[in-house]
Amino acid sequence: MEAKRTKMLDDRTRDEIRALFPRYPSKRAVTLPALHLVQERLRCVPYQAMAEIAEVLEITPAEVHDTMSFYGFFPQAPIGDVRMWICRSLSCMLRGGDELLEHACHRLGIEPGQTTPDGKLTVEYAECLGICDYAPAALADDGRIFGPLDEQRLNEVIEELKAGPVEPAGKSS
């Protein structure tokens, strides 16, 4: 007899996805917000979770995968407590963004896209973050932005981020 697979999306998450239905023209249109919801909850969207999102939305896993792979924002393995992107697009690159990414990774003993062994911080590169005024800039997934950065300020930022995420400003409850 085949063992029953444990579900990755609990009832609360499924209900929260369904609660989005009235706000969108179709269930398929809920794909992106559902991915964000699952990403926030699991810190990743593994294949099984992707298939379960498809089940809730009554579409195929391939359709969820299409959206997921288009954005490149949803890792399939768990990420750190805080995810940091260091920009490597033109304005930041001209002001040392690439070197700062290298510096951060070297300091943490990881490669871009990896998470520190203590699970506290994931460092990734990003294309323009939309904060070129702060070049060279970085963004944390709790909404904090940093810049202009130099190596010393980046070291401080790394320590701030390793202390854990902060509640986004203005977020209630």
**CB nearer ligand FES, residue 31 or residue 89:** 89
Question: CA-CA distance, 76 to 15, in Å (whole number)?
Answer: 22
**CB nearer ligand FES, residue 110 or residue 128:** 128
**CB nearer ligand FES, residue 53 or residue 137:** 137
Nearest distance from residue 152's CB to ligand FES, in Å? 19
How many CB atoms are located within 10 Å of the residue 96 CB? Answer: 18
The two three-digit tokens of residue 33, written as one number? 């917000």
Nearest distance from residue 133's CB to ligand FES, in Å? 8
**CB nearer ligand FES, residue 59 or residue 92:** 92
Nearest distance from residue 38's CB to ligand FES, in Å? 27
Q: Is the Cα dihedral 141, 99, 116, 53 positive or negative? A: positive
Pairing of β 82-87 and β 138-140: antiparallel
Dihedral (Cα; 152, 112, 78, 170), 10-degree rounding:
40
Nearest distance from residue 130's CB to ligand FES, in Å? 6
Give residues in contact with ligand FES (CB under 6 A): 87, 89-92, 128-129, 131-132, 135, 137
The two three-digit tokens of residue 144, written as one number? 């904090």
